[in-house]
Chain A
């Protein structure tokens, strides 16, 4: 997504400067030197508010976080964290010592998150794409259905997830009522929000909440495929299924490149869904990394270790994103040539 935005910005910005120069020379009295100076600084002035906010809320905290990860920052130093003693790589050593409890729990949480993210992103993408492709042509009720499908995405996370919490209740929930009382699929009522089942509960909620975003993006992507392609294919005798396989899906590749990456990052970092679903103590089987770090920091008040874990998480995401963009961009270039 970085490259797309930049390519656009880069290509369109080039013709501007000669035009601006010509403008300035055409009427030198109207645009004297101080005016030109102001013109040169104008883009920076326009960017200034965004820049200040990004610095204050994103970049400075990130640097602070990196510094914190080298400190022994426990509850005693919260008021004046500058005075906390340095601990070198101590926090990192604790985090990645997979034989000790802290490191072992982190590794477990990391693996759970990887598995959860792959499944959730895969399902969201699959369902979203299928729905968008099926709804490409008009049919009766299409508009209504489209609005309906966007409801899970539009609902505030907590309202949606809290409804699922109710549905997953052991005694009075809908899921057990259907599976046990009505379909007799289980011998007894299952627990969904504790134990091993919690993983599937989390996955269900995550897909329910996430697929409409894929649907929305793919739908927007489909509108950019030229009609003529389909008409030409139809003239050549290609059936509808073939058109979908040969035209629709390949044309969506650039959209998918961005979509899958965004879904991956959002799902991997998701805090809201597990936090509302399970509360502060997530069950082992669904111990996503964000909640795990949150607990490691705010429940035990050990900010140093929490920061070290966050930095490790960021490094991992940077690595994955870099490799992903390198691989998919090369694939795109070679397929275009």
Chain B
């Protein structure tokens, strides 16, 4: 049955307006990154007076963008790998075993999701400083401290989503593996994990995005050598001139890895959410 005209027209109008709303900032980001400086300091122009790639060359020397980029890659990459591995173990335990304290564990882990970041910031700051003073392990200001923090941030949601996903993997599969002589870990890695790849990819994307975009802890817990992109990008506007074309170019450069990755893997994310979270 063909949809009624009223539906088609509402859909057309709504989606057109929404596309405009979504696209305008993206257009501003892309077009401004190709404008000469005069175009972005004077009155706003929809079309550049001339196209230039200078901003894309200058961004690397105005601030130490390459260094921040590497820091962000290391921090977000390490946090993602650790978070996924730890979440797989935890979700497997919750999904496949009956044990005391299961309810307490899931409820506690999930409720941390609702705590305001600002609540941890001050104590974690003091905790890291004091651990550093007591043991000599530099957590405050180091990449390690930031990795630890970020990977824990993405853990609750990851565990929660993977529990749902593992539950949807037929239990007969890993029981068959156990009968065939696999240990529990063998069953996990040979049977359950391969069957839950979409969920695991979704969780990895989520963990990477969380770490790549975080601002609050990055602004307090990093120093000159460990600064990540989230803080580093603010360097362009503390100069005497605000190089908007360079800011836009830098924003675009730091966005491309995550946006491209996200769009490539979004099918998995929707599949993962459908199977795990939204059930």
Residues in chain A within 8 A of chain B (CB atoms): 1-2, 4-6, 8-10, 12-17, 19, 23, 39-40, 42-44, 46-47, 49-51, 53-54, 56-62, 64-65, 68, 78-79, 81, 127, 130-131, 134-135, 137, 145-160, 162-164, 166-167, 169, 171-174, 176-177, 181, 208, 216-217, 219-221, 223-224, 234, 239-241, 255, 258, 262, 265, 268-269, 271-272, 275-276, 289-290, 293-294, 297-298, 303, 306-307, 310-311, 313-314, 317-318, 321
Contacts and interface: CB of A to CB of B under 8 A. Distances in A.
B204 interface: no
B233 to A, nearest CB: 6
A157 B89 contact: no
B86 A53 contact: yes
Contact of B119 (A137, A145, A177, A313): A313
18 contacts: A9-B106, A42-B97, A43-B99, A43-B102, A44-B93, A47-B90, A50-B90, A58-B112, A62-B120, A65-B123, A79-B129, A162-B233, A167-B24, A167-B28, A172-B41, A271-B216, A275-B216, A290-B117
Nearest to A255: B278
A311 B184 CA distance: 42
A47 B105 contact: yes
B222 interface: no
Please report whether the interface of chain A is mostly helix, strand, loop or mixed according to DSSP: helix
Given A162-B233, A216-B273, A17 B98 contact: yes
Nearest to A67: B123
A208 to B, nearest CB: 7
Given A154-B259, A177-B43, 7 more contacts: A5-B160, A12-B171, A13-B102, A61-B119, A65-B120, A81-B126, A269-B117
Contacts of B270: 216, 219-220, 223
A313 B160 CA distance: 25
Interface residues of B, number: 112
A311 B209 CA distance: 28
A137 B220 CA distance: 46
Interface in B110-155: 110-124, 126-127, 129-130, 133, 148-149, 151-153, 155
